[in-house]
Structure 1
Amino acid sequence: MDIHDNGPKPNTFDIETATTENDAYRRVAWTGKHLQVTLMSIEPGKSIGLEVHHGTDQFLRIDQGKGVAKMGPEKDDLQEHEVEDGWSIQVPAGTWHDVENTGAEPLRLYTIYAPTHHAKGIVQQTKDKADADEEAGRDEPPKWVEEVDDKGEETA
């Protein structure tokens, strides 16, 4: 399935098919002013990587595979939850989290960020590429998104 991020314009696509066919670590499928949809594929034994997003809520839904979601208020205070096809994960802003693939096939999921978190339309085949893009500043949300602070107030 060919996915093209058309920015804050109306958009439709078969998200389950797109998610299960996606072979990139991260593929931004749609970027709006207030939220963003990304597709992810995590290889067996790998994980998203422990992270925290201040000011960004996250919704993840698993469409293929199984894994463990880890979440908590501090990076050394995480609860683990087994997840698999059909499960969703909700991560409030400021929560440390990770999702690890514990199965034998790629863990395929989609993520909704609110507000937008990544560069419009970016495709990162591997976690190493995603990390390099973030470190180099190539994975920033577009300037036209509605930026909000931790209190939910617009900053732009």
Structure 2
Amino acid sequence: MRSMDIKDNGPKPNVFDIETATVENGAYRHVAWTGKHLQVTLMSIEPGDSIGLEVHKGTDQFLRIDQGKGVAKMGPTKDDLTETEVSDGWSIQVPEGTWHDVENTGDEPLRLYAIYAPTHHAQGIVQETAEQAEEDEEAGRDEPPSWVEEVDEKGEETA
């Protein structure tokens, strides 16, 4: 199945070849599946670009590189980051509240997938560029669906 054929069917069972879909994905971010407690997104970062330095409150993140090479940057503050070289097959685990970025240092697109727990983005959203992703976030178009299970800082479900 080509990544462009993937439709986010919400909290229903879903099966697809994630490695093929990740390598074929050309969009900056393509939300492939949204559940009540986690979400799968495919990402493509162009040479010299990065995901962008960010921090998520209340969301853990798992990333896996399926093509290319780069540098993972993580730390307790945006000015205190540890850098690790990553490439095909590497995974990156980002605990909530950790500043992080992944930069493409290669000469081909860096293709990876990210799993957010809990859900972090709008169901099924496809953002071709980082600029579009930023615009969607600022305009409120990149919010998780209302049916996801939200948790508070203590890990308890909210109403």
Compute the TM-score of the two structures, normalised by the length of structure 2.
Answer: 0.97
Task: Give the secondary structure class of the aligned counterpart of 1:116.
Answer: coil
AA aligned to 2:80 is: D
Q: Which runs of 5+ in 1 are unaligned?
A: none
Q: 1:16-49 CA distances to partner (integer Å, 9 max, x unpaired)?
A: 0000000000000000000000000000000000
1:111 equivalent in alignment to 2:114: yes
Note the aligned Cα RMSD (angstroms). 0.4
* Alignment map for 1:15-54 (pairs within 5 Å): 15-54=18-57
Aligned-residue sequence identity (percent) comes to 85
Name the count of aligned residue pairs. Answer: 156
Aligned residue type for 2:25: N
Q: Which runs of 4+ in 1 moved over 4 A?
A: none
Cα deviation per residue 1:50-83 (whole Å; 9 max; x = unaligned)? 0000000000000000000000000000000000
**3-state SS, counterpart of residue 24 of structure 1:** coil
Q: Residues 107-151 of structure 1, C-alpha deviation per residue, up to 9 Å, x if partnerless? A: 000000000000000000000000000000000000000001122
Q: How does 1:1-156 map to 2 (within 5 A)?
A: 1=2, 2-156=5-159
TM-score, normalization by structure 1: 0.99
2:70 partner SS: strand
Instruction: Give the Cα separation in 2 of the matches to 1:151 and 1:52.
Output: 18
2: CA distance, partners of 1:33 / 1:41? 25
Question: SS in structure 1 opposite 2:74?
Answer: strand
Structure 2 unaligned regions, length at least 5:
none
